[in-house]
Structure 1
Amino acid sequence: MSKLGNLGARLHRGEVSYDFIGHRKLWYGISILITITAIVGLAVRGLNMGIEFQGGAVFTTPKGMNVSVTQAEEYAKDASGHPAIVQKLGDGSMRIQIAGIETNKSDQVKQTLAKDLSIDPEKLAADLVGPSWGEQIASKAWQGLAIFMVLVVIYLAIAFEWRMAIAALVALIHDITITTGIYALVGFEVTPGTVIGLLTILGYSLYDTVVVFDSLKEQTKDITKQTRFTYSDIANQSINGTLVRSINTTVVALLPVAGLLFIGGGFLGAGTLNDISLSLFVGLAAGAYSSIFIATPLVADLKEREPQMKALRKRVLAKRAQAAAEEELAENRSVAADEPEDAAAAVVGPRGQSASRSRGRGRASGKRR
């Protein structure tokens, strides 16, 4: 951890850095590939909408049922004509969820299901959700998401600028598409908990993005008054300066969510945790990725198209080319200055005398032969 902290300090001071902006086309390509995969998953498999969104009935059995989950699913399907989702609860009871059945047929399904399960129909609790109510919930969820997006864009445009607002919006759409695509590919049920998790990770994604944007805004206040860095250079410094912080916060947030998803939902079999934990896990990871590899590079691309930034870039590149030429000229002069000294050392003897005068030295007479 101390090494990671030292690395973070060196990244913040600019002693070491990685060229995120320079490799932005690679990140764009990876993001487009992942997004296309998610869209294909949505188009081919679709979302497994929960009973709250499409209507149906939920039956809860008494405690201590000796029927297996598979057998209960078969009973529920035979009784209703629709696929059923059965979950065994901790007290030994079962939660049988049947989507798509009409409310007026629920009593008949209840009677048949109770008979197959060999229990008293009065002990089989039933909760009904009408199709119109489910459609209303789905509509409200989409409306809430749209309002959230609009408010985010307005706030970022006021607090920062419209280019940053657009970049953040693109990153949010990227995160939503990937998360919903993963749901379609995995086949997990979409419930109100999923919507809550989705809105939560969007806020977290914006948190990471705003941290980088705030650093970028602070460092580019008087950017046109200098000729050392382009806008892309400073954007890259902002990413590197907040990189370790983003990694630390993401890892800390992912650990408990991973516990819910893999241990609670997978190992312990608490399937009710999957709907919210998967959206949180995928969304947190996608949000951290998009804030670094999509939002900030996209802002740099948009800003570099401004006339002022184009002129700044020309001045910076011209100054760097001049400095490189002067450095190369100084190296050539240094090499040229060293060559006569080496040649003189080859023909000059001790004490500055010529080599011909010192040829007789070291002999007994000291004379030439």
Structure 2
Amino acid sequence: MSTNETPATPHLSATGDLTGAGKRSVFDRLYTGTGAFDIVGKRKRWYLIFGLLMLVCLGSVIFRGFNLGIDFEGGTKISMPAVSASGEISTERVTEVFSKTLNAEPSAVQKVGAGTNSTIQIKSESLSVAQVTSLKQALFTELKPQSPTGESSAAQISDSAVSGTWGGEISRQALIALIVFLVLVTIFLALYFEKWMAVGALAALVHDVIFTAGVYSIVGFEVTPATVIGFLTILGFSLYDTVVVFDKVKENTRGLLGLTRRTYAEAANLAVNQTLMRSINTSLIALLPVIGLLVVGVWLLGVGTLQDLALVQLAGMLAGVLSSIYLATPILVDLKMTEPKFKEQAKRVELRRANAARRQEAVADLDLDDPDAVDAEVRRERAYAVATSVPARTPKATDARRGAKPAGKPTGKKRR
């Protein structure tokens, strides 16, 4: 090892881990970030897991599809107060009246809000004017809804026709925004970092998009305009966490080709470990408001818009954190290792470690009481120094190992 390569961690092993790291607690290893977790080294395992996950999500999107809301497919929406003189009106009772009146099932019946201001929203396929009039009269006759002021009349039940054209326009604009975003992100990453980092970040971003879409398809969440808005917001979060990790990778690999301490994969794995605690803390802090939206919006207020927004952000943020740690950096390492210069640097690292291991074995087996053995060891060290440009031990150090005083030039005048 050349003299300008001072070890940053004296007990760093060949894989970039600390010797004895397994004896320390998980939280200690997370906090110190010294490469104790071999994330990049196990990248084939992560590829398999994420690959299977992507196949499931893509299969659900292709064969199962999405539960599109009324804003995308078009239809009729009816709104009425959720309270009557006899108490709250249940969604089951509304569904029963709808089915009995029109001999059909509504697309969705949900309660929005809480207390006297709560309402029930009915979404169905497009209804004719006669069907809407008949349904409103049946709902008033059967359920007697009344306003917060106590007024009870058929006028308290409102209806509106929704065209699917509006939802389609939203989808088209969202797709345009996504394409523009990806193009700008690619240009930025390629200029600020490098091309392979841009490819790794985009691969992680595509994973987040497919995962979030697959969750909505598998679970059957209703896709609304709020879902599309939340879908676009998760892209920035995913990219932010990836950029933080890549910035540390760039710092750790600066001037790496001239060194033989670590390979590119080990330096990248150290960067992931150094930013791992930050990624966890950032994701937890970001998820707390989202969970708050989910709890308040769904269980307390029953607001469908907040539910759609919170669910897409929850799924997208979780996917973003996992992909930035387990997917983006491993992909970057595999792409970098296709370059010959990094392959050669990895071979030099392996050669230095193999030579160091052989030297340690030779020293351990050396009999210091045998002068011939010591001389042979000195010759081996000098040959190694010539081959690897590492200074060998001086004769002074060799004499010290034998237990003799070093030979030096005579000082003073010769006695007569």
Q: Please say whether Structure 1 and Structure 2 have the same fold, judged by a TM-score greater than 0.5.
A: yes
- In 2, are the aligned partners of 1:58 and 1:95 still within 8 Å (CA)? no
Q: Which has the higher helix share?
A: 1
Determine the structure 2 residue equivalent to 1:32.
51
* Partner amino acid, structure 2, of 1:185: I
- 1:131 shift after superposition: 2.1
Q: Does residue 10 of the first structure (1) align with residue 32 of the second (2)? A: yes
1:111/1:121 contact within 8 Å kept = no
- Inter-partner Cα distance in structure 1 for 2:284 and 2:252: 27
Map 1:62-211; keep pairs closer than 5 Å.
62=81, 64-65=83-84, 66-76=88-98, 78-79=101-102, 81=104, 83-89=106-112, 90=114, 91=116, 93-101=118-126, 105=128, 107-118=129-140, 120-211=153-244
User: One-letter code of the match for 2:120?
Assistant: R
Offset at residue 50 of structure 1 (A): 1.6
2:367 & 2:124 partners in 1: Cα distance?
83
Residues 220-229 or 242-251, more deviating? 220-229
Instruction: For 1:68 and 1:335, locate their aligned partners in 2 and report how far apart those are by CA, in whole Å.
Output: 92
Q: 306, 311, 320: which one pairs with 1:278?
A: 311
The Cα shift of 1:67 comes to: 3.5
Q: TM-score, normalised by structure 2?
A: 0.73
Question: Do the aligned partners of residues 260 and 300 (structure 1) sit closer, same or farther apart at CA in structure 2, a change above 3 Å counting?
Answer: same
- Structure 2 segments unaligned to the other structure (5+ residues): 1-24, 145-152, 371-416
Q: Secondary structure at the match of 1:22?
A: helix
Deviation at 1:310, TM superposition (A): 1.0
Work out whether 1:321 is the aligned partner of 2:354: yes
Q: What letter is aligned with 1:251? A: L
**Conserved? CA contact 1:188–1:274, under 8 Å:** no
- Judge which range, 249-258 or 234-243, deviates more: 249-258
Note if contact 2:137-2:154 (Cα within 8 Å) is conserved in structure 1.
Answer: yes
Select between 71-80 and 175-184 the one with higher mean Cα deviation: 71-80
Aligned length in residues: 329
For residue 17 of structure 1, give the secondary structure of its aligned residue in structure 2. Answer: coil
What is the match of residue 333 of structure 1?
366
Alignment partner, residue 71 of structure 2: 52
Q: TM-score, normalised on structure 1? A: 0.81
Contact map agreement 2:337 2:343 (CA 8 A) in 1: yes
Percent identity of paired positions between Structure 1 and Structure 2:
41
